[in-house]
């Protein structure tokens, strides 16, 4: 029987109710902090963006950020919000100064929404403005005003001080992962020369813009084919080179300092302009892929009143530099063509090396053509979507609001994959079943991706043959047993991704599934424990004499129980690349030939696979 539809069915929500009811419209997905695009990082970014806009307009060269467990504070030294409008700025949707392009000409914050979303989605939110020797403080609880102080005199430096605690009712038992925060903050300083950010007392500053950013990100990939080419003109800057040991394209693109992780019109314009300029310079009609394979590039543009495809501003949709002005495509095209052509004429040694790189890519592509054809036929014969892959209904490239939750579990054996398959959410969770241990791919050419059945089927399932932009799942989760064999399989998969698709790891798509080691229960309660410490605590809580079960493998966990571990309470360990680590050196040490240094490491570390995997997961 359908519900009655009448006047009483119509509801009007106030600003905070709407944000809390539909948080995805404002901050993308929720998450618990395991992924760099989880909502708690978006809340932090929204607050920082306002401080960055102050800096861009010439006010406040320092931003102080602290995170103490779950409490976040951001202090800038800009102009401070007008004291009579502090409450409106943080609690009235579509209120702010960003609509006045004279005050904030090329701002990141645009819609007067960000700080309100932070307010509504925080268990506690405090905003203080210090301006012209006076200060004003307001405090909220889940968007409800609890303190509205009068304006009083203050000797503090002027600026804005925001403190908030994300609401566990919304985000669950969340946690901040500092490497994710640090990468976000480094991008801010790379894009804003002269800006200093302190994070929990650590000072961050950069002097050479995108050159520093690219060197920072190339660090772990080994050498580049030629010195980084940097172009700066007016409101556009780019820096790029080709990696010596990469098979993919890698972009770091920004609009008004905002990291557009999904690219957009500016990134497309750069790619098009680079290909066109190189073809004209060498007077050869090279294939696009031969030019762009292994390219690593950073792109930054300032746009007046930019249009993004969502509130989270991950993809630029603007077609023009300013309303009614020159197109972004022509603007970037002109700058890249003029500067890159001049550079290649002046630096003949770079031009020669770039040419050799393109010819090498062309040869490799032609050599691979036959292999890829056979590989595609192999995928069809294996009936991928029926046999190896239990697919889900929503994918990352869809427009569905749940697309960021799409997950592929890579697991070993029929019993484990069977349990996950029966327990999963068929809308967003897919399962890929491995047959035995994967090959150690370290030091092998990319031909092995197509010649090895497991690797061929896996890359086909992920849909990353042609480009990582076609990735079908936002989360790639390695789900193996917590024993030596499981650890070894985990290690071999990590080697495969880092060897051939390092961008999957760099961009935060790869995770390790945590599953419980023990079940402790009595007649009233069941507790799942992920460590010996949790087991001891559970026994003490459920005494006397609770039943204790040790799970030896994923296949021993029933589908009914598995629902707890891959649902809302899922525990994922992100595989994080640290700034100081080199992919090439790490893989060489752990997966290359036995050397005296590695033999010594093995002797000193009896739990070899566990140590290696831990290193690879966090380096």
Mean pLDDT of 115-141: 92
Q: Are 130 and 161 in contact (CB under 8 A)?
A: yes
pLDDT tens for each residue of 487-518:
888 888 998 988 888 888 888 899 998 888 88
pLDDT of residue 100 exceeding 50, the answer is: no
Tell me, what's the pLDDT at 606?
45
Strand 295-301 to strand 229-233: parallel, antiparallel, or no bridges (unpaired)? unpaired
Provide the whole-model pTM: 0.77
pLDDT tens for each residue of 457-495:
898 899 888 778 889 999 999 998 877 788 888 888 998
Mean pLDDT of 174-180: 91
Q: Using the structure block, give the residue that is written with the tokens 């669950």.
A: 172
Mean pLDDT of 292-309: 87
CA distances from 465 to 291, 364, 381 (A): 17, 15, 18
pLDDT band at 544, cuts 50/70/90? confident
Question: What CA–CA distance (Å, rounded) separates 68 from 427?
Answer: 36
Tell me, what's the pLDDT at 467?
77
CA distances from 39 to 47, 82, 241, 497, 504 (A): 13, 28, 33, 26, 20
Q: Left (φ > 0), alpha (ψ -120 to 50) or beta: where does 409 sit?
A: beta
Percentage above 90 pLDDT, the chain? 35
Question: What CA–CA distance (Å, rounded) separates 153 from 371?
Answer: 74
- Closest residue by Cα to residue 291 from 232, 237, 214, 344: 344
User: What are the φ/ψ torsions at residue 30 (nearest 5 degrees)?
Assistant: -90, -85
Give the helix/strand (H/E) hosting 420.
Answer: helix 414-423
pLDDT tens for each residue of 514-538:
888 888 988 888 888 888 888 999 9
Better-predicted residue by pLDDT, 450 or 182: 182
pLDDT of residue 561 exceeding 90, the answer is: no
Strand 407-412 to strand 518-521: parallel, antiparallel, or no bridges (unpaired)? unpaired
pLDDT of residue 285 exceeding 90, the answer is: yes
Better-predicted residue by pLDDT, 588 or 191: 191
Q: Using the structure block, give the residue that is written with the tokens 């190896």.
A: 388
Neighbours of 211 (CB within 10 A): 18
Residue 597, token pair as written in the block: 């240094």
Enumerate domains of the chain plus CATH numbers: 16-204 (3.30.565.10), 209-360 (3.30.230.10), 382-515+553-618 (3.40.50.670), 518-549 (no CATH)
pLDDT of residue 331 exceeding 50, the answer is: yes
271-280, 495-504, 565-574, range with greatest mean pLDDT: 271-280
pLDDT band at 609, cuts 50/70/90? very low
Give the helix/strand (H/E) hosting 519.
Answer: strand 518-521
Mean pLDDT of 546-555: 83
pLDDT of residue 554 exceeding 90, the answer is: no
Better-predicted residue by pLDDT, 427 or 108: 427
Which of 24-28, 98-102, 470-474, 595-599 is least confident? 98-102
Neighbours of 261 (CB within 10 A): 18
Mean pLDDT of 76-87: 91
Better-predicted residue by pLDDT, 553 or 294: 294
Mean pLDDT of 168-187: 90
Better-predicted residue by pLDDT, 368 or 240: 240
pLDDT tens for each residue of 395-422:
988 878 788 889 999 998 777 788 888 8
Mean pLDDT of all residues belonging to the chain: 83
Q: Are 478 and 494 in contact (CB under 8 A)?
A: yes
Q: Are 249 and 506 in contact (CB under 8 A)?
A: no
Tell me, what's the pLDDT at 303?
87
Residue 433, token pair as written in the block: 């079943």
- Closest residue by Cα to residue 419 from 431, 408, 428: 431
Instruction: Give the DSSP per-residue string, 190-213.
Output: HHSTT-EEEETTEEE--SSHHHHH
Question: What CA–CA distance (Å, rounded) separates 90 from 116?
Answer: 5
Strands (E), 277-415: 295-301, 389-390, 407-412
CA distances from 552 to 480, 484, 485, 515, 563 (A): 11, 11, 12, 11, 18
Tell me, what's the pLDDT at 514?
86
Question: What CA–CA distance (Å, rounded) separates 615 from 576?
Answer: 10
Q: Are 165 and 25 in contact (CB under 8 A)?
A: no
Q: How far apart are the first and last CA of the chain?
A: 57
Q: What is the side-by-side order of every strand in the sheet holding 250-255?
A: 229-233, 236-242, 295-301, 250-255, 258-259
Q: Are 427 and 394 in contact (CB under 8 A)?
A: yes
Residue 501, token pair as written in the block: 């698709």
pLDDT tens for each residue of 571-586:
888 888 766 556 666 6
pLDDT of residue 124 exceeding 90, the answer is: yes
Question: What CA–CA distance (Å, rounded) separates 42 from 105?
Answer: 23
Q: Are 472 and 428 in contact (CB under 8 A)?
A: no
Give the helix/strand (H/E) hosting 170.
Answer: helix 168-171
Better-predicted residue by pLDDT, 274 or 224: 274
């Amino acid at each position: 029987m359908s519900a009655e539809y009448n006047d009483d069915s119509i509801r009007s929500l106030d600003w905070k109710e709407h944000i809390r009811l539909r948080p995805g419209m404002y901050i993308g997905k929720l998450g618990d902090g395991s992924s760099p695009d989880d909502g708690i990082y978006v809340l932090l970014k929204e607050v920082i963006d306002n401080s960055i806009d102050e800096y861009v307009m010439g006010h406040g060269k320092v931003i102080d950020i602290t995170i103490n467990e779950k409490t976040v504070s951001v202090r800038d030294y800009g102009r401070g919000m007008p004291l009579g409008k502090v409450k409106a700025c943080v609690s009235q949707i579509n209120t702010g100064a960003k609509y006045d392009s004279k005050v904030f000409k090329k701002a990141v914050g645009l819609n007067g929404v960000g700080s309100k979303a932070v307010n509504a989605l925080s268990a506690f939110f405090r905003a203080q403005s210090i301006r012209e020797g006076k200060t004003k403080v307001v405090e909220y609880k889940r968007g409800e005003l609890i303190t509205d102080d009068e304006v009083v005199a203050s000797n503090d430096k002027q600026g804005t001080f925001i403190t908030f605690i994300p609401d566990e009712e919304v985000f669950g038992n969340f946690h901040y992962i500092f490497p994710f925060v640090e990468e976000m903050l480094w991008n801010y300083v790379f894009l804003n020369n002269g800006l200093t950010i302190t994070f929990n007392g650590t000072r961050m500053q950069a002097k050479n813009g995108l050159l520093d950013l690219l060197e920072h990100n190339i660090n772990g990939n080994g050498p580049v084919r030629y010195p980084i080419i940097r172009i700066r003109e007016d409101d556009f800057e780019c820096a790029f080179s080709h990696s010596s040991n990469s098979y993919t394209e890698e972009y770091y693109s920004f609009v008004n300092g905002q990291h557009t992780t999904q690219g957009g019109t500016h990134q497309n314009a750069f790619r098009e302009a680079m290909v066109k300029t190189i073809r004209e310079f060498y007077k050869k009609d090279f294939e696009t892929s031969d030019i762009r394979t292994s390219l690593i590039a950073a792109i930054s543009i300032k746009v007046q009143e930019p249009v993004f495809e969502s509130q989270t501003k991950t993809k630029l949709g603007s077609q023009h530099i300013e309303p009614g002005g020159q197109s972004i495509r022509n603007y970037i095209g002109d700058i890249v063509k003029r500067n890159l052509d001049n550079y290649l004429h002046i630096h003949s040694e770079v031009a020669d090396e770039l040419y050799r790189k393109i010819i090498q890519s062309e040869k490799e592509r032609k050599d691979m053509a036959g292999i890829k054809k056979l590989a595609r036929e192999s995928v069809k014969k294996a009936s991928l979507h029926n046999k190896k892959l239990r697919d889900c209904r929503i994918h990352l490239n869809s427009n569905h609001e749940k697309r960021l939750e799409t997950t592929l579990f890579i697991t070993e054996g029929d019993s484990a994959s069977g349990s996950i398959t029966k327990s999963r959410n068929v809308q967003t969770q897919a399962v890929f079943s491995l047959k035995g241990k994967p090959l150690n791919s370290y030091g092998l050419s990319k031909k092995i991706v197509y010649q090895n059945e497991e690797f061929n089927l896996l890359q086909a399932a992920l849909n990353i043959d042609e480009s990582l932009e076609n990735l079908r799942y936002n989360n790639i989760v390695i789900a193996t047993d917590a024993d030596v064999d499981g650890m070894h399989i985990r290690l071999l998969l990590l080697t495969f991704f880092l060897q051939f698709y390092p961008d999957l790891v760099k961009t935060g798509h790869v995770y390790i599934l945590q599953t419980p080691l023990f079940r402790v229960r009595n007649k009233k309660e069941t507790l799942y424990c992920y460590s010996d410490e949790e087991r001891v605590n559970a026994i003490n809580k459920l005494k006397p004499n609770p039943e204790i079960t040790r799970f030896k493998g994923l296949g021993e966990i029933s589908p009914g129980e598995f629902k707890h571990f891959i649902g809302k309470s899922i525990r994922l360990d992100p595989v994080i690349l640290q700034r100081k680590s080199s992919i090439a050196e790490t893989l060489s040490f752990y997966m290359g030939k036995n050397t005296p240094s590695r033999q010594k490491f093995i002797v000193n570390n009896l739990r070899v696979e566990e140590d290696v995997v831990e290193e690879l997961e966090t380096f």
